Amino acid sequence: MRILLKSIVLIFGLISFDASATHLAGGDLQYEYISTDSSGNHTYHLKLRLYRDTTGVMLPNSATVYGCSPFYSTVSATLPLDTLNSGKVAPTMFDCVSASSAGVVIAVYYYQGDIIIPGNGVWSFSWSSCCRNPAIDNITNPGSQGFLIESILDNTNGQNSSPEFISEPVRAFCIGTKFNWVQDVIEPDGDSLYFSLAPVKAGTSVSCSQFSVPYDSNYTFLQPITTGPNDSLVIEHATGIISFTPTQVEVAVIGVEVEEYRWNGALQTWNLFGMVKRDMQVGIGSSCTSKAQSGIELDSSSFNVQWDSILNVPRMVVDCWSDSALALPFNFKLDCSTIASDGSDFGVYFSNGTQLSFDSVFVQCDVNNETVDLAIFMDSIFLNGTYVIYFQTGSDGDVVTNKCGYGPASGDTLCVLEINVPNIGAILGIDAGIYPGVTYPYLTLLESSDSTYWSISNGQIVAGQGTDTVYVKWAQSNTGSLSAWRYSPAGCGDTIMMSIQTIFGMEETLAPEIKLYPNPGNGIITIKVDVELKGATLQIIDPYGRIIHSVLDVPEIFLLDVENWARGLYFLQLSTSEFSYRERLILE
């Protein structure tokens, strides 16, 4: 079946052109299945998009597309021009290269309409005209070469809607920089897609004949632009991303085709249901714009981005932040294909030199595979303070770049991050086996310069209201609760609640004292309790509130090996049936 689809164009007649224009710079043609009538005629909606150099003759107000099959008579449909949206310069044309450097200015024209085909089989839909842009460098006699764009349908085993190109078809690039140019499509039927480079075509659609346009001796359809010997142009067959580093100022045409396969469960085979093609013209300029060459910078107009005049880098201020996601506002879109999914393109360390890390990244990309939103997630809680975010080589083997291929060197600073949020994190303290009348300490997991307000049910706050630590006596009741709440001047707050269970009939008992040193420290930490406590449990709690180490029947002195633990804040909790005591431990 695949041989029949690819060879159908060879069985039709002579060459002529059904319309005439000049300076054609490419196009694509998609189809969508609409309906089938009682006679077996199928209606398909066609979308033809043509690209034209603005210096040439205008395109017509309508375009006739022909449908050809070896088993049926040729059919046709005249598609009217969408005058409202046509004739505009492609919006991404000069994102990287100025109009004067690109050498060409290309506008896009849209035609839509329905075509009726009389039955099932292999169909070729095509539109042709003369002539191509004479400024093209990679084909022979470009000004006299014709243009034909087609799509192919095989509805032998069922009706089909083709993939539809949604990424911008017209771009300009500059020499010396690697580009990743995606040919993005929507596949309405969920078929499996295969992207490949293809020859560009000429011919006549009215007689259903076509041929490949001859390339200049220095080019082929697989290598349509001039690149370095070790960085030739390639396409990812699964994604449609074309990667290349131009090395010469030129104007070139590139052809791409997308085949769609559908699984036949009964026969256990993949069937080729259709194919769409895209013919594109690109300009390679001598240099990219200064904005493109600036690399990756934060958007200074964003409300939380300032300029640190001392460090001479941007400073992001976070004063309302309820989770571990950090949204980064950039002033120029990034190339999504250079962003590692685990967030490893970005490194971070605390002002004291403690190395931290991000564990994932959320990226929302547009149809051109360029960032709309980007947020990085931390694998540990960031305490209030100052951090430095820098670029590094990610797990994908490269450093992130902007959409024009420019980026920082590994180790370059992105920004200083200042965090001052009212996060509580959690309430630390014993929550079960409580004895009424006994004083228990409770503290917030995260400290803050903002005041902390506490509220209680079935108990009394003895001391500490407004601070990070309160002391509580619980009443003669089976249950109770303690809540902490913070509110910052920036207008955001955070609250957390702990529920407790009490035991009747016990009197107040004093908790022993815990000493730990060195603190801050690393390696071996010495923990000393002023008495030996049979039945007591000592637990180490990480910033997430997880118990990562515990000791039963606590001795007066014991050693804790933390050499391989992550740097940061931890809590030691000593608990018996009569009291609960906590102490902060910082590893550096």
The CATH number linked to 582 is 2.60.40.1930
Cα Rg of the chain, angstroms: 34
Indicate whether 510 pLDDT > 60. Answer: no
Domain assignment of residue 436, yes or no = yes
In the numeric block, the tokens 């539109």 are attached to 127
Identify the domain boundary among 365, 383, 415.
415
The answer to whether residues 440 and 316 belong to one domain is: no
- For position 93, what pLDDT does the model report? 87
DSSP 511-572: PPPEEEESSSB-SEEEEEESS-EEEEEEEEE-TTS-EEEEEEEE-SEEEEE-TTSPSEEEEE
The answer to whether residues 237 and 102 belong to one domain is: yes
Domain assignment of residue 295, yes or no = no
Q: How confident is the model at residue 10 (pLDDT cuts 50, 70, 90)?
A: very low
The answer to whether residues 496 and 569 belong to one domain is: no
Beta carbons within 8 Å of 206's beta carbon, 6+ residues apart: 16, 18, 64, 66, 74, 76, 128
Domain assignment of residue 585, yes or no = yes
Identify the domain boundary among 363, 380, 415.
415
Q: How confident is the model at residue 41 (pLDDT cuts 50, 70, 90)?
A: very high
Sequence-ordered alpha helix ranges (H) in 191-296: 290-293
The answer to whether residues 460 and 558 belong to one domain is: no
The answer to whether residues 285 and 330 belong to one domain is: no
Indicate whether 430 pLDDT > 90. Answer: no
The CATH number linked to 466 is 2.60.40.1080
Rounded to whole angstroms, the Cα distance separating 325 from 491 reads 19
pLDDT in tens, 65-122: 999 999 999 999 999 999 999 988 878 888 999 988 887 888 899 999 999 999 999 9
Identify the domain boundary among 247, 263, 290.
290
Tell me the residue range of the domain where 438 lies.
Answer: 422-508
Domain assignment of residue 304, yes or no = no
The answer to whether residues 125 and 183 belong to one domain is: yes
Domain assignment of residue 355, yes or no = yes
Under DSSP, the state recorded for 139 is: B
The answer to whether residues 362 and 383 belong to one domain is: yes
Instruction: Work out how many domains the chain is built from and give that number.
Output: 4
Indicate whether 321 pLDDT > 70. Answer: no
More reliable by pLDDT, 527 or 28: 28
| Average pLDDT value for residue range 302-310 | 89
Rounded to whole angstroms, the Cα distance separating 150 from 404 reads 30
Rounded to whole angstroms, the Cα distance separating 491 from 581 reads 33
Determine the length of the chain: 588
pTM of the full predicted structure? 0.73
pLDDT in tens, 146-205: 999 999 999 998 999 999 999 988 889 999 999 999 999 999 999 999 999 999 999 999
Domain assignment of residue 301, yes or no = no
Compute φ and ψ for 519, nearest 5 degrees: -150, 105
Rounded to whole angstroms, the Cα distance separating 101 from 292 reads 14
Compute φ and ψ for 510, nearest 5 degrees: -85, 140
312 — alpha (psi -120 to 50), left (phi > 0) or beta? left
The answer to whether residues 400 and 544 belong to one domain is: no
The answer to whether residues 43 and 171 belong to one domain is: yes
Question: 351 with 316: CB under 8 angstroms?
Answer: no
Domain assignment of residue 260, yes or no = yes
Rounded to whole angstroms, the Cα distance separating 539 from 554 reads 10
The answer to whether residues 318 and 458 belong to one domain is: no
Under DSSP, the state recorded for 468 is: S
Cα 11–Cα 17–Cα 19 angle in degrees, nearest 5: 140
The answer to whether residues 313 and 264 belong to one domain is: no
Burial state string for 260-289 with b = 16 or more CB within 10 A and e = fewer than 16:
bbbeeeeeeeebbbbbbbbbbbbbbbebbb
pLDDT in tens, 255-287: 999 999 998 888 888 999 999 999 999 999 999
Domain assignment of residue 303, yes or no = no
- For position 508, what pLDDT does the model report? 42
The answer to whether residues 254 and 335 belong to one domain is: no
Using alpha carbons, select from 542, 270, 250, 582 the residue that is nearest to residue 428.
582
Indicate whether 8 pLDDT > 50. Answer: no
